[in-house]
């Protein structure tokens, strides 16, 4: 019989979290229409990126009726994704790539934004599931659940975190539960690339 932990692990499995959201992001990317594969000006870039960000969000979150882009707000949020991909000057770097057509051009910039959006929304979704699960447990169940997890999945945790009875892992166990689907996804992707 499955334990509460087993049911939770099943619920947060990448096949139920990351994969469907990544598929929605891919669908949004593939359905986005642009006139040209390059941009000429910063304003054109920001407008296009804000429109793209809004489009992807509408698809991933299944917003109906669809919201329309707000250039400043959506570009600000999109810039966060660009920094994740290209570093602290992500917006400038992405504009240069989109303008020059190098390194995959605008296509690669849009793809990177969609990928980071999918990852962020999946992480948020997993966070909600973990929070609901963790809050539903009594203090005694939390201790037992962390022990059960370490018995079953302790080999996934870096050895330095397992030292001293895994006190750090137990103290922040909900964070381990949030990371578990990401670890499983990375392990499943080994050999696929």
- Report pLDDT for 191: 66
Map residue 192 onto helix, strand or coil. Answer: coil
Map residue 92 onto helix, strand or coil. Answer: helix
* Residue 113 and residue 133 in one domain: no
Q: What does the pLDDT look like over 37-88, one tens digit per residue?
A: 889 999 999 999 999 999 999 999 999 999 999 999 999 999 999 999 999 9
Does 9 map to a domain? no
Q: How many other CB atoms are there within 10 angstroms of residue 100's CB atom?
A: 12
* Residue 101 and residue 135 in one domain: no
Please tell me the distance from the alpha carbon of residue 60 to that of residue 129, in angstroms, as a whole number: 18
Among candidate residues 87, 107, 123, the one where a domain is terminated: 123
Among candidate residues 123, 145, 164, the one where a domain is terminated: 123
Split at pLDDT 50, 70, 90, the class of 149 is very high
Split at pLDDT 50, 70, 90, the class of 94 is very high
Are 130 and 9 within 8 A, CB to CB?
no
Please tell me the distance from the alpha carbon of residue 124 to that of residue 130, in angstroms, as a whole number: 10
- Report pLDDT for 162: 75
- Report pLDDT for 37: 80
Handedness of CA 92, 42, 47, 109 (dihedral sign): negative
Give one DSSP letter per residue of 136-190, joined into a string: HS-HHHHHHHHHHHHHHHGGGS-HHHHHHHHHHHHHTHHHHHHHHHHHHHHHHHT
Are 112 and 85 within 8 A, CB to CB?
yes
Residue 24 reports pLDDT greater than 60: yes
* Residue 64 and residue 88 in one domain: yes
- Report pLDDT for 157: 83
Average pLDDT, stretch 173-188?
92
- Report pLDDT for 20: 97
- Report pLDDT for 36: 79
Residue 35 reports pLDDT greater than 90: no
Among candidate residues 123, 148, 181, the one where a domain is terminated: 123
Lowest mean pLDDT among 113-122, 132-141, 154-163: 154-163
Split at pLDDT 50, 70, 90, the class of 119 is very high
Burial of 68 (0-12, 13-18, 19+ CB in 10 A): exposed
For 23, 62, 85, 99, 182, the CA distances from 114, given in Å and listed in that order, are: 10, 15, 11, 19, 17
Average pLDDT, stretch 87-115?
95
* Residue 115 and residue 133 in one domain: no
- Report pLDDT for 164: 74
Tokens of 153: 């999945």
Q: Domain containing 170: what range?
A: 125-189
Rounded to the nearest 10 degrees, the angle between the axes of helix 173-189 and helix 159-171 is: 140
Split at pLDDT 50, 70, 90, the class of 193 is low
* Residue 117 and residue 148 in one domain: no
Q: How many other CB atoms are there within 10 angstroms of residue 124's CB atom?
A: 10
């Amino acid at each position: 019989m499955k334990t509460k932990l087993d049911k939770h692990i099943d619920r947060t499995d990448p096949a139920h979290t990351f994969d469907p959201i990544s598929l929605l992001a891919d669908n949004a990317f593939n359905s986005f229409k642009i006139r040209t594969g390059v941009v000429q000006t910063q304003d054109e870039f920001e407008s296009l990126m804000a429109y793209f960000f809004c489009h992807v969000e509408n698809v991933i979150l299944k917003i109906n009726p669809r919201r329309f882009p707000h250039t400043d707000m959506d570009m600000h949020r999109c810039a966060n994704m660009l920094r994740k991909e290209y570093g602290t000057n992500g917006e400038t770097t992405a504009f240069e790539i989109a303008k020059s057509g190098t390194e995959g051009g605008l296509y690669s910039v849009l793809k990177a934004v969609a990928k980071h959006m999918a990852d962020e929304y999946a992480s948020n979704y997993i966070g909600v599931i973990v929070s609901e699960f963790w809050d539903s447990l009594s203090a005694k169940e939390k201790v037992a659940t962390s022990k059960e997890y370490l018995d079953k999945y302790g080999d996934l945790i870096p050895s330095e975190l397992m030292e001293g009875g895994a006190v750090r892992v137990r103290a922040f166990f909900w964070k381990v539960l949030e990371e578990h689907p990401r670890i499983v996804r990375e392990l499943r992707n080994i050999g696929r690339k």
